[in-house]
Structure 1
Amino acid sequence: MKLYHGSTVDITNIDLSKSKPNKDFGKGFYLSDNRQQAYDMAVYKAMQLDMVPVVNIYEFDEGILTDNSHGLKIKSFKEYNEEWAKFIFENRNNVNSNIPVHDYDIVYGPIANDRVGLQIRNYMEHNIDLQTFLERLKYMKGITFQYFFGTDRAIKFLKKL
């Protein structure tokens, strides 16, 4: 399958040290199987940095997500649910970004709403309960999934096209 990464640069070699912390699934490399979603992200980044949007394309064998023979630790969220919301909360609210909150090589699951920071604060301050937190994290444009590659072992399974 093809996976897409929206950026402002052509990424030949993925360097996880350049990844930003406190994202949905932690510090790692994020991709989508939805080219338009990746393009929209590239445009958003390009506008912030006054650069040109670039969509990087990679080939990935999706069978790896269900095949244990590769030795990768994989977590899949098939839908928005409380486990997913708690996972997003822990990663977005990780106070020590040098120590990840999980040890998964690959995480697959829905994209959270762009206003996650506000919702985390509301949840932490007990202004909303877990169910409301979950509802507010849902991506506004409908369910779109993302692929997180958090280790060099996982990155090796991406082939740049």
Structure 2
Amino acid sequence: MILYHGSNMIVEHIDLDKSKPNKDFGKGFYLSESERQATEMATFKSLLLGGKPVVTKFEFDDAVMHDSVLRIKVFDNYSEEWADFVFANREGNDAGQYDIVYGPIANDKIGLQIRKLKDGSIDKAEFLNRLKYMKGITFQYFFGTETAVKYLTKL
């Protein structure tokens, strides 16, 4: 399968040390099956940090997701477990060391609901209720270890 990474610079090789902490699934390298989503991320990063939008393609043998010695976590949809995982990672609390995580992106609309949950404006039940009405769910792949990154081939 082809995965896309949106950035404000060309990715010649993946350097996990350049990854930022407090992201949805932790500190790691993020990709999407959606070229459109990666392009939007590249545009956002270039506006925020300078540079030009760049989308880098990678080949990934997704068979490793089903038959692997890697530590893999899959979230098929928004759920309480997903919310707890994202919330913990965004707070800087390592929610579990995984080689690869696949699940929904916590976009701006979801981020707003996470902030409301965090500041006590809504409780977890209301948070999960609001997630049911979110449209256009987009999924992401997280590669959090050097072992996992070896399964990506730059195209």
TM-score, scaled to structure 2: 0.90
Q: 1:114 to 1:135 in 2, by over 3 A?
A: farther
Residue 145 of structure 1 corresponds to: 139
The 1:138/1:31 distance shift into structure 2, 3 A limit, reads farther
Matches within 5 A, 1:34-113: 34-68=34-68, 71-94=69-92, 100-113=94-107
Q: Distance in 2 between matches of 1:5 and 1:90?
A: 24
- Give 1:48 deviation, angstroms: 1.6
Partner of 1:32: 32
In 2, Cα distance between equivalents of 1:28 and 1:107: 10
**Partner SS state of residue 57, structure 1:** strand
Q: Give 3-state SS (helix, strand or coil) of 1:25's partner.
A: coil
Aligned with 1:23: secondary structure?
coil
* Post-superposition offset of 1:134: 3.3
Contact kept in structure 2, 1:112 and 1:139, CA below 8 Å: no
% identical aligned pairs: 59
Q: 1:135 to 1:112 in 2, by over 3 A?
A: farther
1:114 aligns with 2:108: yes
- Superposition misfits of 4+ residues, deviation over 4 angstroms: 115-118, 135-141
Aligned length: 155
Structure 2 counterpart SS, 1:14: coil
Tell whether 2:149 aligns with 1:159. Answer: no
- Please report the RMSD computed on the Cα atoms of aligned residues, expressed in angstroms: 2.0
For the 8 Å contact 1:76–1:108, the answer to whether it is kept is yes
Compute the displacement of 1:127 (Å). Answer: 2.0
User: Which residue number corresponds to residue 4 of structure 2?
Assistant: 4
C-alpha contact 1:106 1:149 (8 A) present in aligned 2: yes
Runs of 5+ consecutive residues of structure 2 not aligned to the other structure: none
Equivalent position SS for 1:108:
strand
Tell me the TM-score normalized by structure 1. Answer: 0.87
Per the alignment, do residues 145 and 53 of structure 1 end up closer, same or farther by CA in structure 2, a change over 3 Å counting?
same
Matched, 1:13 2:13: yes
